């Protein structure tokens, strides 16, 4: 067997599993089972695509390190940027998600995910060359610091807008390539590789920037040049991924027919894409009538709002309220990244077994109460050496599960037809909710009526727990309920299995 069927989550009409034989509907006497829409891609092509995507994650991480985060913030500090600039810098990535529906519309008018991605991200990464040139012109006195700050903001805004146009299409492309049963494992490995790259390269880039003989500005220019080259290598990896035609993807219909013995129709063996069957069309359900997706959208927007009420203020709490040195905060950030890296693959394998929704609910409760755990933290030696490291280990490990499973659940519930529109709407709603949460959180933190930062932590905790409620109503295909998950995970495979001659501890064992 040299190809693999990738199951999709498109909606099926009810009661079409068997088609009776009659005069008006001449079908063979054996009952036919209609499977879900399928896309057949050769196994070797899938393997090559996944390897290319993983390598892409490494070089894309290097590019992201040099064009954002602490290095870009330090660059703006060296230029004398004011707090307003930093506020704009943090709000741009969230607000530009509003343009994702437009990107979805444009991408669905094309015939190649590959060409659309190369066009969008090629232009986006080329723009950073202007900042690299501006840094060298600043060294020669041709551009002053204020102009360089303005140029940086314009490039950040433009590149994020372009990223918003291409984000949904890229996610839909990858969703069609990665087999459903391997999504948790693969995205876990891919995220771990990306996080490891960040963990190793951030200190190296920081040292290179600060020790460059021409000064930190020129040092950042060198690091930025390396990042831009890495960005283009990342784009080069796209050549090795299987291309998907959005027009054909959106025309996917009822897949292969199988009899009760599971024998496939011989006429379909050489088909790469299966198209709608005119006798049994799949209803095109509008997004606003897709109840399952609307419930997910409600959960995702509430969750992003609740998280961003407090998330931007934990570092500020350590630096201002606890008066910790910045080196300690950097150290805790490394612990957080390390825990995230180590547990990402584990969560991915577990998600493939018991489902993403179950993990989001169980781990989400831990993430929900985490802000409360900050209330007892002080500047004592015990808290600095024990409690704060444990908090960051807990945060890094649990957020690995939340990030991974939120992404996978979105892939699971979005149908293949018009899939990119689902991703775009989810990203736009999440961006607005996150920006709103950050804004309201900052306002409440400055108002003593709400208790300052400790009060924000309590409010955020309550909103996080409330945001988990819609998850109980989301339907995830071929997954166990929460009760079954708990029984199989803990009691079913543990205590109740101790009476057997052969005791097996297997999380989420399939019956």
For residue 237, pLDDT beyond 90: yes
pLDDT of residue 28: 41
Look up tokens 């900042």; give the residue. 131
Share of the chain above pLDDT 70, in %: 77
**C-beta atoms surrounding 502 within 10 Å:** 5
Within a 13 Å sphere around the CA of 398, how many CA atoms are in the beta-carbon half? Answer: 17
Going by DSSP bridges, is the β-strand pair 38-42/3-7 parallel, antiparallel, or unpaired?
antiparallel
Separation between Cα atoms, residue 431 and residue 86, nearest integer Å: 18
CB-based contact 470:294 (threshold 8 Å): no
pLDDT of residue 432: 87
- pLDDT category of residue 482 using cuts at 50, 70 and 90: low
Across the range 214-235, mean pLDDT stands at 90
For residue 349, pLDDT beyond 90: no
CB-based contact 336:462 (threshold 8 Å): no
Across the range 58-84, mean pLDDT stands at 83
Structure tokens at 154: 């314009």
The greatest distance separating any two alpha carbons of the chain, rounded to the nearest whole angstrom, comes to 87
Separation between Cα atoms, residue 405 and residue 360, nearest integer Å: 7
For residue 492, pLDDT beyond 50: no
The third-level CATH classification (topology) of the domain covering 45-252 is: Growth Hormone; Chain: A; (1.20.1250)
Separation between Cα atoms, residue 398 and residue 431, nearest integer Å: 21
Separation between Cα atoms, residue 130 and residue 151, nearest integer Å: 8
The third-level CATH classification (topology) of the domain covering 287-494 is: Growth Hormone; Chain: A; (1.20.1250)
Across the range 302-323, mean pLDDT stands at 83
What pTM does this model have? Answer: 0.69
- Higher per-residue confidence, 12 vs 378: 378
Q: Exposed, middle or buried by CB within 10 Å (0-12, 13-18, 19+), for 478? A: exposed
Give the single-character DSSP code of 178. Answer: S
Q: Give the domain ranges of the chain.
A: 45-252, 287-494
Main-chain dihedrals φ then ψ at residue 257, nearest 5 degrees:
-100, 140
Across the range 92-108, mean pLDDT stands at 86
Give the single-character DSSP code of 243. Answer: P
**Per-residue pLDDT tens digits for 385-423:** 888 999 999 998 999 999 889 988 988 888 777 778 888
Give the single-character DSSP code of 9. Answer: -
pLDDT of residue 483: 53
- pLDDT category of residue 287 using cuts at 50, 70 and 90: confident
- Higher per-residue confidence, 318 vs 127: 127
- Fold matches, 45-252 and 287-494: yes
For residue 285, pLDDT beyond 70: no
pLDDT of residue 493: 45
pLDDT of residue 41: 73
């Amino acid at each position: 067997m040299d190809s693999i069927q990738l199951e999709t989550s498109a909606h099926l009409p009810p009661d079409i599993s068997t088609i009776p034989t009659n005069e008006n509907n001449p079908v063979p006497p054996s009952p036919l089972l209609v499977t879900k829409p399928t896309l057949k891609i050769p196994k070797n092509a899938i393997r090559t695509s996944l390897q290319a995507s993983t390598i892409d994650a490494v070089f894309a991480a290097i590019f992201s390190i040099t064009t954002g985060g602490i290095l870009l913030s330090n660059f703006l500090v060296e230029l004398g940027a004011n707090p307003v600039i930093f506020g704009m810098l943090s709000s741009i990535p969230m607000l530009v998600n509003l343009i994702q529906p437009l990107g979805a519309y444009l991408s669905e008018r094309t015939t190649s995910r590959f060409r659309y991605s190369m066009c969008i991200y090629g232009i986006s990464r080329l723009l950073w060359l202007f900042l690299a040139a501006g840094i060298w012109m600043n060294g020669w006195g041709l551009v002053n610091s204020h102009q360089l700050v303005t140029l940086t903001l314009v490039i950040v805004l433009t590149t994020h807008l372009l990223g918003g146009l291409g984000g949904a299409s890229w996610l839909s492309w990858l969703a069609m390539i990665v087999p459903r049963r391997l999504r948790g494992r693969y995205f876990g490995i891919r995220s771990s590789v990306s996080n490891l790259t960040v963990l190793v390269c951030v200190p190296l880039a920081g040292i290179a920037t600060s020790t460059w003989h021409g000064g930190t500005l020129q040092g950042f220019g060198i690091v930025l040049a390396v990042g831009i080259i890495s960005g283009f290598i990342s784009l080069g990896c796209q050549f090795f991924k299987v291309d998907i035609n959005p027009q054909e993807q959106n025309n996917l219909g009822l897949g292969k027919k199988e009899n009760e013995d599971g024998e496939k129709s011989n006429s379909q063996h050489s088909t790469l894409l299966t198209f709608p069957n005119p006798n049994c069309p799949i209803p095109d359900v509008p997004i606003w009538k897709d109840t399952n997706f609307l419930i997910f959208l409600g959960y995702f927007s509430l969750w992003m709002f609740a998280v961003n009420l407090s998330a931007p203020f934990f570092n500020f709490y350590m630096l201002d309220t606890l008066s910790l040195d910045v080196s300690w905060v950097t150290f805790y950030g490394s612990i957080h990244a390390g825990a995230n890296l180590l547990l990402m693959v584990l969560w991915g394998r577990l998600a493939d077994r018991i489902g993403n929704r179950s993990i989001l609910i169980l781990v989400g409760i831990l993430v929900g109460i985490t802000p409360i755990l900050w209330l007892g933290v002080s500047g004592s030696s015990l808290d600095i050496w024990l409690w704060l490291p444990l908090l960051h280990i807990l945060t890094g490990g649990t957020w690995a599960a939340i990030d991974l499973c939120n992404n996978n659940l979105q892939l699971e519930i979005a149908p293949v037809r018009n899939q990119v529109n689902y991703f775009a709407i989810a990203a736009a709603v999440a961006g607005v909710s996150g920006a709103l949460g950050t804004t309201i959180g900052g306002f409440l933190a400055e108002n003593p009526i709400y208790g300052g930062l400790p009060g924000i932590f309590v409010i955020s905790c309550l909103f996080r727990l409330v945001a988990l409620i819609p998850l109980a109503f989301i339907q995830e295909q071929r997954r166990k309920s929460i009760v079954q998950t708990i029984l199989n995970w803990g009691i079913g495979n543990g205590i109740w299995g101790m009476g057997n001659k052969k005791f097996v501890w297997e999380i989420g064992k399939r019956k």
